[in-house]
Amino acid sequence: MADLRPLCLLLLPRPLEGFILRDQADDLLRAEGVVAVDPPRVPYGATARVPHVLGEVLANGTAKRLIKALRRNGDRPKVVVIFHPVQLLLARAIIARFDDCELWYGRWDRYEHAYDAGPQMRERLAELHEAAARLSSLTFVASDELARLEDEAGRDATLVPLAADTFPAPDPTAAVIAVSLGHLGWRTDWALLRAVAERMPNLVLLLVGAWHDDESKDDADYAWCRAHPGFVWLGARSDEEAARLILCADVGIVPFKVEPFNDAGLPYRILKYARLGRRTVTPELAGVKTWANAVSTAPDAGAFAAALVEQAGRRADPDLALRDWALEQTAEAQNAPLWERLRALGIALG
């Protein structure tokens, strides 16, 4: 036994890629003597739900198979780490076979109060927690409050807060947040959006509207945009939701191709952005110049990117003069020539 290599076994409650404490597990796994053990064929939760004797039998069977595999590799467990009380049955079955093997118990939540556990299961979890905490040589907890609860129970606990090493952390001081409101399909210039995003690694584009794979399925630039992490595809949203999302952005965009169908129109979204104090950036489309005070046009991807950068920070400093102008563009004000003609024709206006 002495010539077997001692190991620290991390009993993962779920596969590593889906484990909530993956960052800290990955850090420990840098050590040659620390290995991860995937969940057994019979889930941990199932062994806690069956009658106690059957649960012990299942845990013992798993322990035997695991230890046999370790010994074949010239290894033996010195530390067994669990992250949930339902893992105690297996951990205890492993430790019982080695005089010098100890348990470490990680507590990052009050498992015995889980929402998805009924009264009977909560009682079982509380029982397993107490047993794990008593057997543990090192209990490490995620919060001061969990440490206080262990202290209240007469036990020591080591504070080991959470880590989020792999969670992306784009530079918030350099980010430009743009929003696109409306249809995402034929009209959209995916090549332009890709080129802009490649020039602006800190660009976040909120895409509010239904996207249509059938309209762009053969477009490589569309495929790139669908996969790009800086493009957040939010789908169709109500006007109330869309307005709040525009508030999260610095600038609105109209990413239309410069084609006859798009060139002469006046996109509604320009006015919608302006009502929230946001300017719009568009390609060189003729129709948008009707609202030139609200629009910056760009002849190419470089100019488009530069125009977006100019609006950085507007989410915290909206253009209130632009907003005032937009709020004046009411249906009644826009319909003024039609009202004038109705009066000239003697049509009753009520």
Helix (H) / strand (E) element for 96: namely none
Cβ atoms of 178 and 206 within 8 Å: the answer is: yes
Cβ neighbours for 187, distance < 8 A, ≥ 6 positions apart: 256, 257, 261, 262
Q: What is the pLDDT of residue 113?
A: 86
- Asked if 265 contacts 258 with a C-beta cutoff of 8 angstroms, the reply is no
Q: What is the pLDDT of residue 2?
A: 59
Q: So what's the pLDDT on residue 228? A: 98
| Whether the predicted pLDDT of 260 surpasses 80 | yes
Mean pLDDT of the chain: 95
Domain ranges of the chain: 5-159, 176-334
Strands 138-141 and 102-107: parallel
Distances, alpha carbon 345 to alpha carbons 332, 334, 337, 350, in Å:
18, 19, 13, 14
Work out the pLDDT band at 46, boundaries 50, 70, 90: confident
Residue range 274-301: average pLDDT?
Answer: 98
Q: Are 112 and 122 in contact (CB under 8 A)?
A: yes
Percent of the chain with pLDDT over 90: 91
Q: How wide is the angle at C-alpha 255 spanned by C-alphas 202 and 211, nearest 5°?
A: 90
**Alpha helix segments (H runs only) across the chain:** 22-28, 44-49, 52-72, 88-95, 119-135, 144-152, 190-199, 213-216, 220-227, 239-247, 260-263, 268-274, 301-310, 320-327, 331-334, 336-344
User: What is residue 114's predicted lDDT score, i.e. its pLDDT?
Assistant: 84
**What is the C-alpha separation between 193 and 222, in angstroms, rounded?**
9
Among 180, 303, 168, smallest CA distance to 229 is for: 168
Check the CA dihedral 44-49-50-53 and report its sign: positive
* Joined tokens for residue 109: 């939540």
Kindly list the strands in the beta sheet with 138-141, ordered across the sheet, starting from the edge strand earlier in the chain. Answer: 34-37, 5-11, 75-82, 102-107, 138-141, 158-159
Residue 1 has what pLDDT?
54
Residue whose structure tokens are 């309209």: 215
Give me 140's structure tokens. 């490490």
Residue 258 has pLDDT above 70, yes or no: yes
Please tell me the predicted confidence (pLDDT) of residue 112.
85
B/e letters for 295-312, b = 16+ CB within 10 Å, e = fewer, are bbbbeebebbbbbbbebb
Cα atoms in the 13 Å half-sphere on the side-chain side of 203: 29
Reported CATH class of domain 5-159: alpha beta
The three-state DSSP-derived secondary structure of 22-51 is HHHHHHHCCCCCEEEECCCCCCHHHHHHCC
pLDDT at site 47? 86
Average pLDDT over residues 171-189: 95
pLDDT per position as a tens digit, 214-241: 999 899 999 999 999 999 999 999 999 9
- Reply yes or no on whether the pLDDT at 327 is more than 90: yes
Give the tens place of pLDDT for each residue, 118-141: 899 999 999 999 999 999 999 999
* 191-204 tens-digit pLDDT: 999 999 999 999 99
The fold of 176-334 is Rossmann fold (3.40.50)
